[in-house]
């Protein structure tokens, strides 16, 4: 083993894991480093946040996935610095030498310079984020059931989702269903279907990356679930119990106890670290601007992929921060490493856009497959099929299917647990 | 509703929920108060702690269970005081009036006067306890994989379980399987099957409440999983990285980074509160000594059931703190309330002991059905059948079955997630 080419991959998301999986039979030593001991299927994280699925259903231990990869070791650790001169990754508790480095540490949410909003308006990137969001949503209904004051009650029954991209739309749709169907008979003093669910989007339509016909269809489906969609609306302030929104010249402060953040993506801080060490340029979102072969300028031994990479060689604008580009980039990098070792010529990365899918609720989704645009039931069936297909472990596929079927038949979301630090008394 | 007899039940465990379920058609107003929004199926909590099941699989929202009970409301709240003179329960944020009160707040673990041990040796009573235990177990293996020092490595690979009752035996058995089967191919530097798993029991045999033949069978099954069983051993000290055990005259300090506490049960603090308010007597474990009809002396309107009750009228010693007595007491109390309202004569509580079951691992369990004692595969099949039967929601029954079948076929425990506060660097 000692003389083999050492590939270090930082991050076990779609990009990093994709690369590791493809290197199974390559004549290299692979080290995969992640802060978590599992690969998270992020596209379904909103279903954990809304009580449909359990975290373990969408999180697979990296060691399980890679157990048959005899050339691969997994390390639970956090990369804090890169040392390109000595070709090593500095962890919070050690260092790892590399010959080729693949950085795939993804992104987190950002608050447009208002980090203080995060406390009141949590985002959705990790399992802990999802269980925290679930806790806030359920506690708001619990507190409403016991609230006497009508102003307070109104704030507790108001849910504001900031950001009309796929995550915001999916959260709003699921909340609409929870309020109307799942919780319908659960309370005695409040009527959950009276909950106000407000989706705020800065541009002029939801799902702005989709064709406008599908945006309109998504909006209609959201409104059918009683979600109030406010486009062209900017959030100008977030407080403990309110959010302020500006639409054109008008500004309004909405009293609410639950604000969910689904806007603004910020690349992983490792991008800045890398930029300082190698002189690589970052784009406005903090992503590393990469070469056509996904390497860092002047560092052919360092690849950056997934949400952390800004790759605009193909269409003139960066690829979106979703699973497909990350997966394809992971595979591409693994192939490029193998070609190099064989002394073969490498090709630039080419992204094959397979389309976009977002679900709004029961039998309600939009699908843009490039050659075909669908909404409603057919889009929803495609969404289900594709997501089940991409979930990694067979057992999880089965568990997710059982829970989706149950939800479809009964409207019940059984993973509605309030967990975490003691929430009592209910001063949210 | 206003003039109906008000029944307040504190605690949504087996006892409290049992009473609430039975009161569905009674001419009363029922209020169920719990700190959690779910009923927890505690007998399977060790399977969450060992990565087999997800919390939601064994936790059902109380509102879902009781949604069709039109006479019942559920309140998320914590009872901190009882005011028998004014017949009200004082919550941390309010008060509820009752005509009949049912106290079913259960128990937690105790450390025999050494509360400082809890930090190092967590117990297993709540969902949060279980995910914390899971985190500690998995982090110990992760840290071992990266440990260079052989002494430290040995401590990381040593797991001590204190208490040889059902929970301790089940935890030890599951840990044995994790080390030998589940994690077998997961690591590159350590061999998980070399882990030392030590079960410490103060009496002369494990499962002391069982017939001695079954204790011997359980011990044999544990040893087959390479668990070291040390009976007649008392824990005299617990530190961050060691546990000290005395056997007869000999005392030994075992270096270990994972200590799991499955010994010592302490009744809920509401017992002491009640004793102060009503003069009720507590037994040594802090349980309320109840009358033959489970009421508090001189307070026929206050029932105490489940783990918090000390009922020894039938056999001369208190009933064990397990699910069966609690369920039966809950039903009994509901029936007694109805009889009283109808002006009928009430009978004393009578416990029907259906037997005991504990599982050690794959096809390994012991069953004492009073008329029949079994061990091994037949006991295990009975254990599976009975547990699936008692799990409340149909969906959860299905999900648990899928996961058990998967475990049986593949030895894989897929809920092996390290969640919670950031565990890095790995200074356990």
SS (HEC) of chain A: CCCCEEEEEECCCHHHHHHHHHCCCCCEEEEEEECCCEEECHHHHHHHHCCCCCHHHHEEEHHHHCCCCCCEEEEECCEEEEECCCCEEEECCEEEECCEEEECCCEEECCCCCHHHCCCCCCCCCHHHHHHHHHHHHHHHHHHHHCCCHHHHHHHCEEEEECCCHHHHHHHHHHHHHHHHHCCCCCCCCCHHHCEEEEECCCCCCCCCCCHHHHHHHHHHHHHCCEEEECCEEEEEEECCEEEEEECCEEEEEECCEEEECCCEEECCHHHHHHHHHCCCECCCCCEECCCCCEECCEEEEEECHHHEECCCCCCCCCCCCHHHHHHHHHHHHHHHHHHHCCCCCCCCCCCCCCEEEEEECCEEEEECCCCEEECHHHHHHHHHHHHHHCCCHHHHHHHHHHHHHHHHHCCCCCCCCCCCCCCCCCC
CA–centroid distance for B180 within its chain: 26
Alpha helices in B313-393 (DSSP H): 323-341, 377-390
Q: Could you tell me the pLDDT band of residue B55, with boundaries at 50, 70 and 90?
A: very high
Q: Is the pLDDT of residue B9 over 70?
A: yes
**CA B65 to CA B38: how far, in whole Å?**
9
Look up residue B322 and give its DSSP letter: S
Indicate the residue of A54, A185, A427 with minimum beta-carbon distance to B55: A54
Measured distance CA(A72)–CA(A31) in Å, rounded = 6
Task: Put the strands of the sheet holding A227-230 in their side by side order.
Answer: A227-230, A196-200, A158-162, A258-261
d(CA B330, CA B333): 5
pLDDT tens for each residue of A201-254: 999 999 999 999 999 999 999 999 999 999 999 999 999 999 999 999 999 999
Nearest of B418, B305, B240, B237 to residue A36 by alpha carbon: B418
In this prediction, residues B324-343 reach a mean pLDDT of 97
Q: Give, in degrees to the nearest 5, the angle at Cα A302 between A297 and A307.
A: 90
Interface of A with B in 262-321 (CB under 8 A): none
Which one of A360-374, B295-309, B397-411 scores highest in mean pLDDT?
Answer: B295-309
Cis peptide before A425 (omega within 30 of 0): yes
- What's the pLDDT band for A1 if we cut at 50, 70, 90? very low
Residue B149 has pLDDT above 90, yes or no: yes
pLDDT tens digit sequence for B357-406? 999 999 999 999 999 999 999 999 999 999 999 998 888 999 999 999 99
The 10s digit of each residue's pLDDT in A324-352 is 999 999 999 999 999 999 999 999 999 99
Phi, psi angles (nearest 5°) of residue B187: -115, 160
Strands B373-375 and B364-368: antiparallel
Put simply, the answer to whether A55 touches B419 (Cβ < 8 Å) is yes
Q: Does A422 score more than 70 pLDDT?
A: no
Between the alpha carbon of residue B294 and those of residues A85, B66, B313, B334, the distances in Å are 75, 24, 10, 12
If you measure CA to CA, which chain B residue comes closest to A427? B93
Question: What confidence score (pLDDT) does residue B77 get?
Answer: 94
Residue A21 scores a pLDDT above 70: yes
**Count of A-B CB contacts under 8 Å:** 165
B191 to chain A, any CB pair closer than 8 A? The answer is no
Least trusted range by pLDDT, from A234-248, B170-184, B186-200, B383-397 = B383-397
Mutate: best of A45, A417, A422, partner B, most B CBs <10 A:
A417
Q: Which residues of B touch A427 (CB under 8 A)?
A: 93
Q: What is the mean pLDDT of residues B251-261?
A: 97
- Partner-chain residue, chosen from B78, B138, B422, that has the shortest CB–CB distance to A424: B78
A-chain residues near B131 (CB < 8 A): 419
| Conformation bin of residue B106: beta by default, left when phi > 0, alpha when psi is -120 to 50 | left
ipTM of the complex: 0.92
Contact A264, A111 (CB under 8 A): yes
- Mean pLDDT computed over every residue of chain B: 94
Give, in degrees to the nearest 5, the angle at Cα A320 between A360 and A81.
Answer: 120
Q: Token digits for B47?
A: 């399977």
B250-255 LR contacts (CB < 8 Å, sep 24+): B254/B158, B254/B160, B254/B198, B255/B151, B255/B154, B255/B155, B255/B158
A-interface mutation test, from B10, B64, B392, most A Cβ less than 10 A away: B64
Residue B158 Cα distances to A156, B195, B222, angstroms: 48, 6, 16
Residue B372: how many CB atoms within 10 A of its CB? Answer: 11
Query: What's the mean pLDDT when you consider all of chain A?
Result: 94
pLDDT of residue B81: 96
CA dist list (Å): B88 to A44, B7, B28, B76, B97: 45, 11, 16, 16, 4
Q: Residue A170 catalytic?
A: yes
Mean pLDDT calculated for residue range B96-119: 95
Q: Which of A82, A195, A95, A212 is nearest to A137 (CA)?
A: A195
pLDDT at A424 over 80: no
Q: Which tokens in the block code for residue B139?
A: 């982090």
Which of A223, A172, A228, A124 is closest to A359 using CA atoms?
A: A172
pLDDT digits 0-9 by tens, B58-103: 999 999 999 999 999 999 999 999 999 999 999 988 999 999 999 9
Instruction: Tell me what the mean pLDDT of segment B91-119 comes to.
Output: 94
- Residue A195 and residue A159 in contact, taking contact as beta carbons nearer than 8 Å: yes
Contact A187 B55 (CB under 8 A): no
In this predicted structure, the answer to whether residue B422 has a pLDDT above a threshold of 80 is no
Tokens 């914390």, residue located: B132
Residue of A nearest to B68 (CA): A185
- Check whether A264 has a pLDDT greater than 80: yes
β-strands A364-368, A356-361: how paired?
A: antiparallel
Are B186 and A63 within 8 A, CB to CB? yes
How open is the CA angle A100-A101-A104, to the nearest 5 degrees?
Answer: 145
Percent pLDDT > 90 in chain B is 92
Report the pLDDT value the prediction gives residue A266, as an integer from 0 to 100: 92
Report pLDDT for B1.
47
Do you know the residue count of chain B? 428
pLDDT at B2 over 60: no
């Amino acid at each position: 083993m000692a003389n083999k080419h050492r590939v270090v991959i930082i991050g076990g998301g779609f990009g990093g894991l994709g690369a590791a999986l493809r290197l199974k039979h390559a004549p290299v030593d692979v080290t995969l480093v992640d802060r978590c001991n599992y690969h998270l299927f992020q596209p379904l994280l909103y279903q954990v946040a809304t009580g449909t699925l359990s975290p373990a259903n969408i999180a697979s231990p990296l060691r399980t996935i890679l157990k048959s990869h005899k050339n691969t070791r997994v390390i639970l650790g956090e990369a804090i610095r890169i040392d390109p001169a000595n070709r090593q990754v500095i962890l919070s508790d050690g260092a790892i030498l590399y010959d080729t480095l693949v950085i795939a540490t993804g992104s987190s949410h950002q608050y447009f310079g208002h980090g203080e909003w995060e406390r009141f308006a949590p985002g959705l990137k990790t399992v802990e984020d999802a269980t925290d969001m679930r806790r806030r949503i359920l506690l708001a209904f619990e507190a409403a059931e016991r609230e006497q004051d009508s102003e307070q009650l109104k704030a507790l029954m108001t849910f504001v989702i900031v950001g009309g991209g796929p995550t915001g739309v999916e959260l709003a749709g699921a909340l609409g269903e929870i309020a109307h169907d799942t919780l319908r008979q659960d309370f005695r003093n409040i009527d959950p279907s009276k909950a106000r669910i407000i989706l705020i989007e800065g541009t002029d339509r939801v799902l702005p990356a989709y064709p406008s016909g599908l945006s309109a269809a998504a909006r209609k489906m959201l409104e059918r679930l009683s979600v109030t969609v406010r486009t062209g609306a900017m959030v100008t302030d977030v407080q403990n119990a309110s959010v302020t929104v500006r639409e054109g010249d008008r500004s309004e402060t909405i009293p609410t106890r639950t604000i969910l953040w689904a806007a603004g993506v910020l690349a992983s801080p490792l991008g800045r670290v890398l930029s300082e060490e190698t002189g690589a340029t970052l784009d406005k979102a903090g992503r590393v601007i990469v070469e056509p072969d996904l390497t860092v300028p002047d560092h052919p031994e360092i690849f950056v992929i997934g949400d952390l990479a800004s790759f605009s060689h193909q269409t003139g604008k960066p690829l979106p921060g979703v699973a497909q580009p990350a997966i394809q980039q992971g595979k591409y990098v693994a192939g490029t490493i193998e070609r190099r070792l064989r002394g073969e010529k490498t090709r630039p990365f080419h992204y094959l856009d397979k389309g976009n899918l977002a679900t709004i609720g029961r039998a309600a989704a939009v699908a843009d497959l490039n050659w075909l645009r669908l909404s409603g039931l057919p889009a929803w069936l495609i969404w289900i099929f594709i997501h089940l297909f991409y979930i990694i472990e067979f057992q999880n596929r089965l568990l997710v299917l059982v829970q989706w079927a149950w939800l479809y038949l009964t409207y019940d979301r059984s993973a509605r647990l309030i967990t975490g630090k003691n929430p009592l008394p209910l001063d949210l």
